[in-house]
Amino acid sequence: MRTSTITRNTSETKITLALNLDGRGGSNIDTGCGFLDHMLELFARHGRFDLDIKCRGDMHVDAHHTTEDIAIVLGRAFSEALGDRRGIVRYGSMVLPMDEALVLAAVDISGRPCVGYGLVIPTEKVGEFDTALVKEFMMAFSRTMGASIHLRQLAGEDSHHIIEAAFKALARAIRIAVALESGYEDEIPSTKGTIV
């Protein structure tokens, strides 16, 4: 089973997260931040992951620690669930429309963190959520997952649509990358013979 359950407690956030890579897209998300709940729920749905997250963070400050720390734990959960990366496709990409927004996500589960961030979100806030936190999320997630994540905004005017397209595109790209490649289940997909 490609699953992981992680608990991480700091003075800023207390997080419990359970991930199943081979799920059905079901989720139970309670981060304390409504917009983040919305993004993580659709990330699970469109990635066909099962994802449960419970976070109690210092939302009286803002959503910064909650967003960053959830990304840290989510990336770690992917890394653990993937183990030595044996048999996976490794690469995935998706160009995903959401109304007028069009976002490309490309992922390489390389063992190395890297973010190419090309979203230009026109407003500072979506509801109470600070849109600069999308980049913070991607950087933390890339770091603990050990993956290159590239996002390019090909079109878009509405901040909510742009961010939602990015999370959906990322989910679909990761779904492709973590899939087991038929006929290569015993191979670590690197000429180095190791990824982790």
Q: Which is nearer to Mn ion, 84 or 157 (CB)?
A: 157
b/e for 142-160, b at 16 or more Cβ within 10 A? Answer: bbbbbbbbbbbbeebebbb
- Taking CB under 5 A as the binding criterion, the range among 61-69, 92-100, 144-152, 162-170 that sits at the site for Mn ion is 162-170
Q: Which is nearer to Mn ion, 29 or 177 (CB)?
A: 29
Break the chain down into helix, strand, coil percent, rounded to 5.
35, 30, 35
Q: Which is nearer to Mn ion, 142 or 159 (CB)?
A: 159
What is the nearest approach in angstroms of Mn ion to the Cβ of residue 163? 9
CA–CA separation, 133 and 40 (whole Å):
14
Q: Give the residue from 196, 140, 148 showing the smallest Cα distance to 173.
A: 148
Binding track over 41-70 against Mn ion, x by CB under 5 A:
------------------------------
What is the nearest approach in angstroms of Mn ion to the Cβ of residue 169? 14
- Taking CB under 5 A as the binding criterion, the range among 8-16, 78-86, 96-104, 159-167 that sits at the site for Mn ion is 159-167
User: Nearest to Mn ion by Cβ — which residue?
Assistant: 164
What is the nearest approach in angstroms of Mn ion to the Cβ of residue 87? 34
CA–CA separation, 66 and 189 (whole Å):
33
Q: Give the residue from 24, 91, 87, 89 showing the smallest Cα distance to 51.
A: 24
What is the nearest approach in angstroms of Mn ion to the Cβ of residue 86? 36
Q: What are phi and psi of 65, to 5 degrees?
A: -65, -40
List of residues contacting Mn ion (CB under 5 A):
164
